[in-house]
Structure 1
Amino acid sequence: MEMHATRTLNADRETVWAALNDARVLEACIPGCQELHGSPEEGFHAEVKQKVGPVKATFKGDVTLSDIVPLERYTIAGEGKGGVAGFAKGSAQVILSDAEGGGTDLHYDVDAKVGGKLAQLGSRLIDSFAKKMADQFFERFQAHVEGRDDDPLAQTDPEDAARPATG
């Protein structure tokens, strides 16, 4: 499965880059994320609960960053295992550029595969689910970097917000 998209964010590249590398921001923006910790240098470990069609699972996995050019791009790759539900693995190239009229264009190219019960659901359902997840992530991410009222970090428990970022 492949996905490609560009989102224009009303924030400068430094703000967008910092958020893309912040475990707390990513944890708040990833739909179903129960836990995410790590750093860009060492990689991140995540636990994500999701329901795809009739298949419900908790995926645990690791992602690494490579080809890092600060404020411009990186490649993120990883694999998550969801027990009998199967697995998901893939990579994404993320590219930042100055948007016309100000702000930052965030472009991504994703290549992903699923196996196990998930693969039996059919590509239409999987593709639709992946697009929905990406849209939810980027809507939350955009709210955060633009400082909107619906910023997912502003909606967390105050104790969680006071907790230092792991990394």
Structure 2
Amino acid sequence: MKLTGSYKIPTDKQSVWEALNNPDVLQKCIPGCEEFKKNSDTSFTATATNKIGPFNASFTGEVELQDLNPPNSYTLVGQGNSPVGFASGEAKVVLTEEGKQTILTYNVEANVGGKIAQVGSRLIDMTAKKMADIFFGKFSDEFSSAGLSASNESNSVVATKFNKKIIYAVATLVSLGLILLAIY
């Protein structure tokens, strides 16, 4: 599975970088996140539950930050497990400043197995876009008392299989700073 996208966040790059590395912010922004724990400066563990098609899956996963270039970029490498499947992959997250806002761009490559991999690609694509938009909307709201939301620059999903966890990281992104472990 490959997933790419970019979002405009209404604040400076340093603030976005700090929020992408703040477990409290990420737990609030990741849809269905029940627990998000920082194990070290470069390692996180999370649990999230979400519905994908007929599955109501609770994923537990680990994400490690690599290739750190603060506050410009990093790579998220992670894996997650659930009774309905497993996922592993990596996401490259790049931040660039544009005026008074930051453009967050991500590229994800993921592998998925188990029952969750059998969900149709159209449903997976729609769910992935929805989850990323929810994450970035909440993430953007962390920076704006006016409630401005993140603007989706280009959220194109090319997938034959699905991994909810990966979007979180990216999302944590995306974060998950969107892969953050919940099954995306």
Q: TM-score range by the shorter chain?
A: 0.7 to 0.9
Per-residue CA deviation, residues 36-61 of structure 1 (Å, 9 max, x unaligned), is 00156240000000110001111011
Residue 23, structure 1, aligned to residue 15, structure 2: no
Aligned length: 149
Report the Cα distance in structure 1 between the residues aligned to 2:19 and 2:76, rounded to whole angstroms: 14
Residue 64 of structure 2 corresponds to which residue in structure 1? 64
1:87 maps to a residue whose letter is F
Q: Return 5+ residue gaps in structure 1 as ranges.
A: 152-167
Residue 43 of structure 2 corresponds to which residue in structure 1? 43
8 Å CA contact retained: 1:21, 1:39: no
Q: Which residue of 130, 133, 149 corresponds with 1:135?
A: 133
Equivalent positions of 1:106-117 (< 5 A) are 106-117=104-115
User: Once the 2 structures are TM-superposed, how far is the Cα of residue 149 of structure 1 from its aligned partner?
Assistant: 4.4
1:145 maps to a residue whose letter is F
Residues 148 and 68 of structure 1: is their aligned pair in 2 closer, same or farther, counting only changes over 3 Å?
farther
Report the Cα distance in structure 1 between the residues aligned to 2:102 and 2:38, rounded to whole angstroms: 25
Per-residue CA deviation, residues 69-94 of structure 1 (Å, 9 max, x unaligned), is 001000112111111x1112222111
Higher helix share: 1
Report the Cα distance in structure 2 between the residues aligned to 1:76 and 1:64, rounded to whole angstroms: 6
Residue 52 of structure 1 corresponds to which residue in structure 2? 52
TM-score (ref. length: structure 1): 0.82
Looking at CA atoms only, which structure, 1 or 2, has the larger radius of gyration? 1
8 Å CA contact retained: 2:140, 2:148: no
* Percent identity for Structure 1 against Structure 2: 44
8 Å CA contact retained: 2:10, 2:148: no
Report the Cα distance in structure 1 between the residues aligned to 2:144 and 2:16, rounded to whole angstroms: 9
User: Once the 2 structures are TM-superposed, how far is the Cα of residue 139 of structure 1 from its aligned partner?
Assistant: 1.0
**Secondary structure, aligned partner of 1:145:** coil
Higher RCO by CA contacts (8 Å cutoff, separation 6 or greater)? 2
1:81 maps to a residue whose letter is N
Residue 7 of structure 1 corresponds to which residue in structure 2? 7
Cα RMSD, aligned residues only: 1.8
Q: Return 5+ residue gaps in structure 2 as ranges.
A: 150-184
TM-score (ref. length: structure 2): 0.75
